[in-house]
A = this chain, B = another copy of it.
Amino acid sequence: MSNIREVARLAGVSVATVSRTLKSPERVLPETRDRVNVAVEQAGYRPNLMAVQFRSRRTFNLVVLVPNIANGFFARVISGAQKAAQAAGYRVLLCDTLGCEATEREFAELVHAHQADGVLQLRAYDPFASTSDLSDVPPIVNACEVLQSGRHPTVSLDNRAAAKAVTQHLLDLGHRRIGLINGPADSPLTHDRRAGYEAALREADIAPDPALICPGDFSLKAGYDGVLQLLAGPERPTALFCESDEMAIGALKRIREMGLRVPQDVSLAGFDDIELAAYCDPPLTTIAQPAEQFGQQAVEMLISLIEKRPLPARHVTLPYQLTIRQSTARVAG
């Protein structure tokens, strides 16, 4: 593989001139420049980025920690992140952490090892939690699922308000017994969404009933299993709010298997507005999140951090949208 010296030799100039021609051509005589360019061509020369980065102490790599790549929502976040990164001349080192803290810490360490310039974390875990010396904490942005510490910049959604809006929508349709299938217990998303759900109920003078709330984890299976528990009791709810579309789709299957219809017997609402939500039968009422924007905004903030540009805002909240389709209807009777 040819190097800069080889090119210099071919062009009959010094390595310094080759470097200059490539980096700031205006500082080189056009004639010399041409000779160098010819030599570059001839040698099939490509700068060894390893060396460049080593020298400049910059990698233009961003580590993105994803809890689960297979999740349609994160896939869109990643897509947005990648576009923003590419636009700014950065690359994305994607890591499917499966929610494993050790893995997350390990990958975050890549920054300390000079393998990346910053970290984008899409889960509520601070891989640098144990680093008390703030000057030792590299550029990091937290998006989607954020920490309350406020230590790092964040991009989030007002999950409480969104969940409240969905619940309100169900209340408006006359529902009084509304079931909830939660997300993972340790996630702030779950906490906020549940809080929004309960707030809406209370404002309608309905006491939240713990028997109507069941644990989940955002997966198809959790929705499928959750329904069994929620619709088993004597006074079954007339509506169900699932904290993710995947759970809603799992729930839908089980509801059908139990011989009930959506929305005639049970109204069903999800969260995320994944592509599939519109293709369900019936199409799913849900909360649309600007997934791509999460990734894009977060990456832009991260790059500002890296390049030490001022951040317009340390904490950004993106808008949600209640998307009403046919899975929710006025309560029967």
Residues of chain A at the chain B interface (Cβ within 8 Å) = 1, 44, 46-51, 53-54, 57, 59, 69-72, 75-76, 78-79, 82, 91-96, 109-110, 112-115, 136, 220, 224, 249-250, 252-253, 256, 275-276, 279-281
Contacts and interface: CB of A to CB of B under 8 A. Distances in A.
A276 B276 contact: yes
A112 B142 CA distance: 33
Q: Interface majority SS on A: helix, strand, loop or mixed?
A: helix
A50 B220 contact: no
Given A50-B54, A253-B280, 5 more contacts: A1-B112, A47-B113, A49-B110, A50-B59, A79-B96
Contact of A76 (B70, B250, B256): B70
B256 A279 contact: no
Contacts of A112: 1, 46
Nearest to A249: B279
A53 B59 CA distance: 13
Contacts of A275: 220
Contacts of A94: 92-94
Given A70-B72, A94-B94, A96-B78, A115 B281 contact: no
24 contacts: A46-B112, A49-B110, A49-B115, A50-B50, A50-B53, A50-B59, A50-B113, A50-B115, A70-B76, A72-B72, A82-B95, A82-B96, A91-B93, A91-B110, A92-B95, A93-B93, A94-B94, A220-B279, A249-B276, A252-B281, A253-B279, A253-B280, A253-B281, A276-B276
